[in-house]
Amino acid sequence: MAYQYDDQNIFAKILRGEIPNDTVLETEHSLAFRDIQPQAPVHILVIPRGPYVCFDHFAQEASDAEITDYVRAVGEVCKMNGLETDGFRLIANAGHDGVQEVPHLHVHILAGRMLGRMLAKA
Ligand code: AMP
């Protein structure tokens, strides 16, 4: 299946400057900002600037430069917040079963409290 990117999604609007955001880090190919409904003391989203729906779309179609920038941006946000001390969790929801609400790739960085086991029972 080929992914179809919807450029009216809320993160596309943030990237175009149409909606404000609480920026944590800007790089050439990536943007990190605080989640509007934080679920932990640290809850930061990292998105690529390019039009990628989800992680596998990005992995298949992004350039090496975009992928390198994105992975390093995630690492930099972790470093900026001192997360190597107590740890953190990365989540990248995709599609229906992953309960992805915004169809633009984003990694959630969650930290600052004990996060519990990875999945609750459905
Ligand atoms: P997901 O379910 O993985 O698609 O998560 C989408 C996330 O985007 C949720 O945690 C929302 O709280 C967050 N979110 C939605 N709109 C905004 C916004 N304008 N600024 C920051 N975070 C947002």
Q: Whose CA is nearest to atom 17 of ligand 1?
A: 36
Q: Which atom of ligand 1 is nearest to the CA of 35?
A: 22
Instruction: Quick: pLDDT tens for 14-68.
Output: 999 999 999 999 999 999 999 999 999 999 999 999 999 999 999 999 999 999 9
Amino acid at 121: K
Q: Is 8 domain-assigned?
A: no
- Number of neighbours of residue 35 by Cβ within 10 angstroms: 17
Active site residue 96: no
pTM listed for this prediction: 0.97
Q: Going by C-beta distance under 8 Å and a sequence separation of 6 or more, which residues neighbour residue 7?
A: 51
> How far does the centroid of ligand 1 lie from the alpha carbon of residue 12, in Å?
12
Residue owning the nearest CA to atom 20 of ligand 1: 36
In a domain, 9, yes or no: no
Report the alpha-carbon distance of residue 67 to residue 94 in Å, rounded.
Answer: 18
6 lies in a domain? no
Cβ burial of 112 (10 Å; 0-12, 13-18, 19+) is middle
> What is the mean predicted confidence (pLDDT) over 77-83?
98
pLDDT-based confidence at residue 119 (cuts at 50, 70, 90): confident
| 16/20 Cα distance (integer angstroms) | 10
Determine, yes or no, domain membership for 103.
no
Q: Is 36 in the pocket of ligand 1 (CB under 6 A)?
A: yes
**Is 1's pLDDT higher than 80?**
no
CA–CA distance, 79 with 81 (Å, rounded to integer): 5
For residue 57, is it within any domain?
A: yes
What torsion do the CA atoms of 104, 97, 34, 22 make, to the nearest 10 degrees?
A: 40
The yes-or-no verdict on residue 121 having pLDDT over 90 is no
For residue 4, is it within any domain? no
Token reading at 54: 């989800």
Range of the domain at 79: 16-32+40-84
Rounded to whole angstroms, how far apart are CA atoms 54 and 61? 11
Q: Is the pLDDT of residue 122 over 70?
A: no
Q: How many domains does the chain have?
A: 1
- The CA 71 to ligand 1 mean position distance, Å, reads 20
Q: Is residue 58 part of a domain?
A: yes
Average pLDDT score over residue span 92-109: 98
- 115 belongs to a structural domain: no
